[in-house]
Amino acid sequence: MIDALAVHNLWVSYGGAQVCQGVDLTVPEGQVVLLMGANGAGKTTVLRTIMGLKRPASGTVSLRGRDITGWPAHRVVRAGVALVPEGRQVFPEHSVEENLRLGGYSHRRDRAGTHRRMREVFELFPALEARRRQHAATLSGGEAQMLALGRALMSRPGLLLLDEPSLGLSPLLVRQVFEYIRAMNRGQRLTVLLVEQAAAAALAIADYAYVLDAGRIALGGQASEVARDPKVQEVYFGASEKTAQARS
């Protein structure tokens, strides 16, 4: 079976700094794949390069066996890829419904399809339907994240790229967001590449995981295996465990 996404030997630089150094990863069709790593490891750069927002120095990006390396972002969207950027980046002065319609802009001529897709978004996120006329600026952090996810779904993607969807949310909302991601993966049959630092919650819903360290893939495999790796345990779970022990 052809993977939904394959990144091979990806090198990306900003100025004179090599941010990605020979990154290799694959995202199997219908799976949730986690890309984790410290701040500055190059995770967002990988997503931006896949999305066509950053050109690589070398390497390839393939979507279901088709080379899309260097394609402009609008063409990548039309090929079935959507990005939910870090910090959500919804349009604050537009209503919830207007934000969703902007997400489906590439399919704007298909009015029936756009209406059907919006109904599906509202079924997944009922809180958005109740606030469809509100400006996005008035939403809570959790609601704004729902809107960012819903806006991405409006472009009818087969592959969803998520950049730190839990950022700035309470622990309760973090769990809720990851439940939504798994629901989209199963109910919408979406393939997901997830960049996230909330390692425990992300590993719990992921099928596969990669650890990016200083621009290189340091570890990869089944999410359950990666979660048991001693280095991952030390770096990503050690602090929380020590804190819990200190409080008990």
CA distance linking residue 213 with residue 3, whole number of Å: 24
Percentage of the chain lying above the pLDDT 70 cut: 95
Domain-embedded: residue 213: yes
Flag whether pLDDT at 152 surpasses 80.
Answer: yes
φ, ψ dihedrals at 149, nearest 5°: -65, -45
Question: pLDDT category, 244, cuts 50, 70, 90?
Answer: very low
* DSSP character string of 66-128: EE-TT--HHHHHHTTEEEE-TT----TTSBHHHHHHHHTGGGTT-HHHHHHHHHHHHHH-HHH
Domain-embedded: residue 130: no
For position 168, which CATH number holds?
3.40.50.300
Domain-embedded: residue 242: yes
Total domains in the chain come to 1
Tens digits of residue pLDDT in 86-116: 887 899 999 999 999 998 877 777 788 888 8
115 Cβ partners below 8 Å, 6+ apart? Answer: none
CA distance linking residue 52 with residue 43, whole number of Å: 15
Question: pLDDT category, 39, cuts 50, 70, 90?
Answer: confident
Flag whether pLDDT at 25 surpasses 50.
Answer: yes
Which pLDDT value is given to residue 189? 86
Element (H, E) at 22: strand 17-27
Domain-embedded: residue 99: no
Domain-embedded: residue 124: no
Q: CA 217 → CA 76, 114, 158, 209, distances in Å?
A: 24, 39, 25, 10
Domain-embedded: residue 56: yes
Flag whether pLDDT at 38 surpasses 70.
Answer: yes
Which pLDDT value is given to residue 238? 61
Tens digits of residue pLDDT in 198-224: 888 999 999 999 999 999 999 999 999
Tens digits of residue pLDDT in 40-56: 899 999 999 999 999 99
Q: What's the pTM value of the predicted model, to 2 decimals?
A: 0.88
109 Cβ partners below 8 Å, 6+ apart? Answer: none
Flag whether pLDDT at 242 surpasses 60.
Answer: no
Domain-embedded: residue 118: no
Domain-embedded: residue 19: yes
- Averaged pLDDT of the chain: 90
* Domain membership of residue 222 as a residue range: 5-89+157-247
Which pLDDT value is given to residue 240? 42
Which pLDDT value is given to residue 107? 78
CA distance linking residue 7 with residue 18, whole number of Å: 17
Which pLDDT value is given to residue 246? 37
Of 109 and 170, the structure prediction assigns the larger pLDDT to 170
